[in-house]
Amino acid sequence: MNLPVDTERVIDFLSGLLNTPSPTGYYQEVMQYVWRAIEPMNLPSLTVAYNRKGALILTLAGQRDDSPRAISAHVDTLGAMVREVKSNGRLLLTQLGGYGWQAVESENVTVQSLISGKRIRGTIQTISPSVHTAPSELRESHRDAERMEVRLDVRASNKEETQALGIDVGDLVFFDPRVEVTDTGYVKSRHLDDKAGVAALYGALLALRELGAAPAQRTTFFFSNYEEVGHGASAGIPSDVHEYVVVDMAASTTGEHQNSDEYSVGIGVKDSTGPYDLDLTRRLSALCKQEGIPYKLDTYPNYGSDGSAFLRAGGDVRVALIGPGLDASHAYERTHRDSLEATTKLLLAYLLTP
Ligand SMILES: [Zn+2]
């Protein structure tokens, strides 16, 4: 099978996507980025829709329509929200999505006013970050929400001064992604979960255009915007789809008992919500073998996907999970171009296979 995946363009798209902030709940900007990249492809017989909660839903007519399919990836990421403007003028946070506070300690951030959209820079740190003033506290205290705060890069030393700048409860906090593409082929960044998956969808669409081919079946591409909080794909996947392939990260490549790596596509057989469809999983594995795509089967006991969200919402569909291998998921993540390429190729091979 000819699988013309342009990995350079996938990585270019991914870099811009990573630099577009999109913590769960804040999605208009990133949806615009995605659509502006796909629109110029002028894909024939593409329909475009958004559901009411803001997910982008693209549908491509297929060569057949008797076993329609859906593919999804999520654009929403981890982030934070201001819970309190503290008496010292700094910000107490509440998490959007789940992560360890140590994973964002010392990270630079942008705080965006919910009301005005104004942006102010700052840094997340512990409440006693200096080794010169509180050495034992710094080393020994564990990290939790109460022991972390945002120091804003403005002259504000009390609550009133910070509020006077337009900063208040409910404002959004974007972590700097720190995107780096190395000459050894690695992509390092926050939020590769699941922007690397979104990039694979982009790459597959690009390849379909290159081939001038329609997918084997009518296929819906669902760009999910609430996955990190568990209900992304619970609404918006057409109820008549027979198969649904979720593209999300293959997590914890360095974790004990994990089988995924950064150089292949991960195929999830089971996660915390139970097994994926064994027949569809077997077919995807067979496609990898047939096309010489490196792959790893894995189980993810601490993870649930948008597939589980759709099944729980009543979806009567066979679901499978594939995705790029990520090191240090939900921290400063890393993957490799080989894994992006393998994921995009498997997705494309699936789309083209009756
Ligand atoms: Zn994810």
Kindly state whether residues 72 and 152 are assigned to the same domain.
no
pLDDT digit string (tens) for 63-92? Answer: 999 999 999 999 999 999 999 999 999 999
* Structural domain total, the chain: 2
185 lies in a domain? no
d(CA 321, ligand 1 centre) in Å = 11
| pLDDT in the model for residue 254 | 65
Please give the distance, rounded to the nearest whole angstrom, from the Cα atom of residue 264 to the centre of ligand 1: 17
- Ligand 1 centroid vs 43 CA: distance in angstroms? 27
Radius of gyration of the chain (CA): 21
CATH of the domain at 228: 3.40.630.10
Q: Which domain holds residue 249?
A: 7-77+191-352
Domain identity same for 199 and 235: yes
Round to whole Å and give the CA distance between 120 and 98: 24
Q: Which of 11, 4, 38, 1 is CA-nearest to residue 340?
A: 11
Residues 47, 153 within the same domain: no
Question: How far is the centre of ligand 1, averaged over its atoms, from the C-alpha of 5 (Å)?
Answer: 23
Is 1 a domain residue?
no
Strand partners, 72: 222, 246
Same domain, 140 and 105: yes
Catalytic-labelled residue, pool 160, 180, 210, 227: 227
Domain for residue 195, yes or no? yes
Domain presence at residue 159:
yes
Are 252 and 232 part of one and the same domain?
Answer: yes
Q: Mark whether 73 and 201 lie in a shared domain.
A: yes
In this prediction, residue 251 carries a pLDDT of 66
Residue finishing a domain among 144, 175, 206: 175
Interval between CA 77 and ligand 1 midpoint (Å): 8
Distance 186 CA to ligand 1 centre (A): 19
Active site residue 227: yes
**Successive 10-residue mean pLDDT values, the chain, 354 residues:** 97 98 98 98 96 98 98 98 98 96 97 97 93 78 93 97 97 98 98 98 98 97 97 96 95 76 95 95 98 96 92 96 94 96 98 98
Residue 45 within any structural domain of the chain: yes
**Residue 307: inside a domain, yes or no?**
yes
Q: State whether 67 and 83 are in the same domain.
A: no
* End-to-end alpha carbon distance in the chain: 13
- Residue finishing a domain among 148, 175, 202: 175
What tens digit of pLDDT does each residue of 254-303 get?
A: 678 899 999 999 999 999 999 999 999 999 999 999 999 999 999 998 88
Average pLDDT of the chain?
95
16/51 same-domain check: yes
| Residue-level pLDDT at 140 | 77
Residues 48 and 108 in one domain: no
Please check whether residue 183 lies inside any domain of the structure: no
Residues 158 and 220 in one domain: no
Query: Looking at the structure, do residues 217 and 106 belong to the same domain, yes or no?
Result: no
Please identify every residue whose CB atom is under 5 Å from ligand 1, which is an ion. Answer: 193-194, 248
**What's 132's domain CATH number?**
2.40.30.40
Q: Kindly state whether residues 212 and 300 are assigned to the same domain.
A: yes
Question: How many A from CA of 247 to the centre of ligand 1?
Answer: 8
Distance in angstroms (rounded) separating the CA atoms of residues 320 and 245: 5
Residue 180 domain flag:
no
158: CA distance to ligand 1 center in Å? 37
